[in-house]
Amino acid sequence: MYRIGEFSYLCECTIKTLRHYEKMGILIPKEVDDFTGYRYYSDEQVNTYHNIKTLQEAGFTLKEIKNILDNPKDNNIVKEVKKLTEEYQDKLKRLEEIKNKLREGVYMELIKNPIFVMIGEFKELKTRDDFKKELDDIDKKVGTNYRNFSKLPSVLISYEVGFKENDITCFIGRVLSDDLKTNYSFINILKDKGLEVLTDNKVEILLHTSSTDDVIDTYKEMIKYANNNNIQIRGEFIEIYNDDKIDIYVEAYDLTKDNEDNLIHERQLEEKFKTTEPIYDSKYVGKWCLQGQIVEPLKIFNPNKAHFMPDTKYKELILYKDGTTNYDNVTWRDNYLLIENNGKIIDSRLYQENSKDGTRYLGILMNDLNINARPYRYYYKEENNS
């Protein structure tokens, strides 16, 4: 099963389109996690999506397509539609076979995070075609401070949830060589020029592959590989461009193994709740409304920008000063939100309370029902309680 963001890559369509198809009733997710609100799709639904697109290209409206899908009667129209979609599926299958032959020898691997140090800028990339131009502008900023800077591998990190062709929030820059990682005087010079230093040392394991193909095709292969091997991929894809290949990395969790950090956390939390009195910190008390799932770094968090909105039922949280909430199955204490689900208490951490432009925001690490998985980061905005 694929989360909606992953499914959008497999279909090369936006999440907005998938939500519209769901609203129209022509492509409804196989499952919905009522805890996190995430939509999940199956492999078979990739074919359904392509059939819908084929019918659209043939001139059918979405309303007509819904009628066809809802009423598979044995008449001439349905026969013609079936023939049309089958021909299209045959073409897709042949193309996939050709791609697989070209990609023979391509491997996927789980590796320990090499911890890249990257210099560049956060950008709103109009299209991927603008990548080279934006990179050239960064190289010009560095100028003569390091003549070989433009020869370092380039990097692009997208902070969008799911497939998107235009207006992509991303990081663009270059990956520092080992000798430059510790050249702090050089790094400080570039900081003074307004460039950003990006280091992600919080992630332990990455899924990695090398490719010379189209990047989105490689994303698809990584998503399918993760799904087939019970791996949760998280966060943003890191694309590092070398002379003759593209190395792509993404955060990964092996769901077949116990998450040792999570087990330790659960034991510590259980012991803490047994031996200490609860604290109901007044800074959390109040009404909080979900702004969406935040993928991008907090440094560029823009509350006015539309963020990916999960369909969780916990879109509005009211935390009362006695530890209760506006939900019967949810309580809170210390800096934890405690949600009871089928007799199991799942803790979600109230981990980040900050202000921007006079408004407070609360970050919540929202776990899903798979305890091995890494929680999602949801952001809530404080509502005026006066």
Sequential pLDDT tens for the chain (386 residues):
898 999 999 999 999 999 999 998 999 999 887 677 788 999 989 988 988 888 888 788 888 888 877 776 655 666 666 676 777 667 766 766 666 655 555 688 999 998 899 999 999 899 999 999 999 999 988 887 677 888 899 999 998 888 988 889 899 999 998 888 888 888 898 888 889 998 877 778 899 998 877 888 899 999 999 999 989 888 889 999 988 889 999 999 888 876 666 677 777 777 877 788 888 989 899 999 998 887 777 777 777 777 788 888 888 999 999 999 999 988 998 888 888 876 666 667 777 777 777 888 888 887 766 656 677 788 899 987 54
Distance CA 75, CA 345 (A): 53
Virtual CA dihedral for 264, 34, 333, 352, nearest 10 degrees?
80
Q: 3-state DSSP call for residue 214?
A: coil
Structure confidence at residue 211 (pLDDT): 84
What pTM did the predictor assign?
Answer: 0.81
Tell me if 368 sits within 8 A of 35, measured CB to CB: yes
Neighbours of 294 (CB within 10 A): 20
Quote the CATH superfamily of domain 109-254: Regulatory factor, effector binding domain (3.20.80.10)
Q: Where in the chain is the domain with CATH 1.10.1660.10?
A: 2-102
DSSP string, 131-158: HHHHHHHHHHHHGGGSTTGGGSPEEEEE
Which DSSP category does 27 fall into? S
Distance CA 151, CA 255 (A): 38
The three-state DSSP-derived secondary structure of 294-337 is CCCCHHHCCCCCCCECCCCCCCEEEECCCCEECCCCEEEECCEE
Q: Where in the chain is the domain with CATH 3.20.80.10?
A: 109-254
Q: Which amino acid is at 159?
A: Y
Q: 39-41 and 31-32 as β-strands: parallel, antiparallel, unpaired?
A: antiparallel
Q: What is the CATH number of domain 2-102?
A: 1.10.1660.10
Tokens read off for 305: 């920008």
Structure confidence at residue 289 (pLDDT): 92
Structure confidence at residue 99 (pLDDT): 61
First vs last Cα of the chain: how many Å apart?
44
The closest alpha carbon to 157, from 138, 131, 187, belongs to 131
Tokens read off for 350: 């109230």
Structure confidence at residue 386 (pLDDT): 47
Distance CA 10, CA 216 (A): 9
Distance CA 321, CA 94 (A): 62
